Amino acid sequence: MNTQAIGGMPEITYNFAYLDEQTKRMIRRAILKAIAIPGYQVPFAAREMPMPYGWGTGGVQVTAAVLGRDDVLKVIDQGADDTTNAVAIRGFFEKTAGVATTTSTTEATIIQTRHRVPETALGENQILVYQVPIPEPLRFLEPRETETRQLHALAEYGLMHVKLYEDIARHGHIATTYAYPVEVAGRYVMDPSPIPKFDNPKLDDCPALQLFGAGREKRIYAIPPHTKVRSLDFEDHPFRVQKFAKPCALCAATGVYLDEVILDDRGGRMFVCSDTDYCNTRQEAGHRGEMGVPAESASSDVMPGLNPGIHAVPPGHPVQGVDGRVKSGHDGVPVESGREGDAS
């Protein structure tokens, strides 16, 4: 960081990718240890970032430490490139690192994500950086770090199994639907971040490098490529993922994670891909769901994908000219499949 006096207050300029080099080295060392001990949470001296804790400071620090000038960065939140926080983080790196950004999963060399793993299979030179709020999988069973650290040291994970089994006794199901715990390389139990358990199987034997950053909790962990990642389960209650009853209403994809969009107050709803790049790519290739838009009618500032429809001003002061949501909905209640996508 440099300051240069202009007028009354100093002008402030920042290093490439914001972090100073000493901080990057410290994070890089943590990343190397995290890779060497898959699933183990390496403590690191997370810095205060110019964005709030809980909004991706861990992921941002990992990305900043890894990023080079030739990288192509993609940032997603809830699977979408255009959710506000994804836009803000992408803008941060465009500004501080000047790197190329993309929404294409296949073009990206680094993908920073919150809550999803892309539907498109990742390749071996890609890095997936997860934003993690609570890295400790045992935290909600034992709030004390001093205790959980012991449990990891002893590989004592009985507590987790008891919790999952209590769920089954009480609800007939394992009630954990996201942030579903996994065992990495046969040793550490790890929180995969709050991705839906639907995404858990994608972590197993993934050719890409997966890095996890928790800024507020000051932890970094990793899954090297082609590492065994098993979702915890029981013989009589095997791990299962969600399966949706209907295909994506826009691109007709099946076997993907869908978002439910409420269309009106009379029960109208539709289900569309949460992964906007995947959905757009399919639509461009001519796939059409029952509520899809013909390709030629989509103008450049209209994305026929899911978007939260964010407005900067209250309704009545529209800043966006486009709002074509119409149509009564259909019922697409998801149902649980059999053992599809078992991570083991």
Partner 1 sequence: MYVAAKGGEKAIRNAHALLAKRRRGNRNLPSIGLDQIAQQLTLAVDRVMAEGSLYDVELAALAVKQARGDLIEAIFLIRAFRTTLPRFGYAKPLDTAGMQVRRRVSATYKDLPGGQLLGPTFDYTHRLLDTSLGQGGVGGEGHEGHAPATQPETSVEAEPMPRVTDLLGREGLIEGAPEDDGTEPFDLTRAPVSFPVDRSTRLQALARGDEGYLLALGYSTQRGYARSHPFVGEIRFGDVEVIFEAPELGFELSLGTVQITECQTVNQFKGSATTPPQFTRGYGLVFGQCERKAMSMALVERALRWQELGEEPGAPAQDEEFVLSHCDNVQATGFVEHLKLPHYVDFQAELDLVRRMRAEHEEERREAGLKEAAE
Partner 2 sequence: MSAQALATGFSDPVDGAQATFRAAMWALSRPGRVEVLDAGLAPPAPLIPEAAALALALCDYETPIWLDEALAAMPAVAEFLRFHTGATIVADPAEARFALIAEPMAMPDFAVFAQGTPEYPDASATLIVQVEHFTGGGLLLEGPGIEARASFGATPLPADFAARMTTNRALFPLGVDLLLAGSGGVAGLPRSVTVWEG
Site for partner 1 in 131-190 (CB under 8 A): 133, 144-146, 149, 171-173, 175, 177-179
Residue 162 C-beta: closest distance to partner 1, Å = 20
- Inter-residue contact 126 to 63 (CB < 8 Å): no
Asked if 302 interacts with partner 1 (CB under 8 A), we say yes
The string over 240-258, giving b where at least 16 C-beta atoms fall within 10 Å of a residue's C-beta and e elsewhere, is bbbbbebbbbbbbbeebbb
Q: Does 29 bind partner 1 (CB under 8 A)?
A: no
Contacting partner 1 within 95-114 (CB under 8 A): 114
d(C-alpha 297, C-alpha 26), whole Å: 50
Residues 42, 60, 189, 251: which binds partner 2 (CB under 8 A)? Answer: 42
For residues 39 and 188, the answer to whether their CB atoms sit within 8 Å is: yes
153: closest CA among 189, 191, 193, 192?
A: 189
Q: Rounded distance, CA 195 to CA 274, Å? A: 12
343 binds partner 1 (CB under 8 A): no
Q: Is residue 192 close enough to count as binding partner 1 by CB under 8 A?
A: no
> For partner 1, which is the closer residue by CB, 41 or 227?
41
x/- letters, 217..256, toward partner 1 (CB under 8 A):
-x-----------------------x------xx------
Part in contact with partner 2 (CB under 8 A); list of ranges 36-44, 134-142, 251-259, 288-296: 36-44
Of these, 17, 232, 303, 343, which contacts partner 1 (CB under 8 A)? Answer: 303
- Residues 90 and 82: their CA atoms lie apart, in Å, by 10
248 has catalytic annotation = yes
Window 67-86: contact mask with partner 1 (x via CB under 8 A): ----------xxx--xxxxx
Q: Is 296 in the site for partner 1 (CB under 8 A)?
A: no
Question: How far is the C-alpha of 98 from the C-alpha of 134, rounded, in Å?
Answer: 30
**CB atoms closer than 10 angstroms to residue 167:** 15
**Nearest approach, Cβ of residue 151 and partner 1 (Å):** 15
- For the record, the structure tokens of 290 come out as 């029952």
DSSP letter string over 59-108? HHHHHHHH--TT-EEEEEETTBTTSHHHHHHHHHHHHHT--EE-S-TTT-
How many of the other CB atoms lie within 10 Å of CB of 186?
Answer: 11
For residue 307, the minimal CB distance to partner 1 (Å) is 4
Report 148-167 residues binding partner 2 (CB under 8 A).
149-150, 152-154
Told to judge if 206 belongs to the known catalytic residues of this protein, a careful annotator would answer: no
What is the β-pairing status of strands 258-262 and 269-273?
Answer: antiparallel
Nearest CA to 81 among 250, 318, 294, 305?
305
Which one of residues 34, 86, 138, 174 is an interface residue with partner 2 (CB under 8 A)? Answer: 34
Interface ranges with partner 2 (CB under 8 A): 15-16, 21-22, 24-26, 28-38, 40, 42-43, 65-69, 149-150, 152-154, 184-185, 187-188, 205, 207, 209, 222-228
What is the set of active-site residues?
A: 39, 248, 251, 273, 279
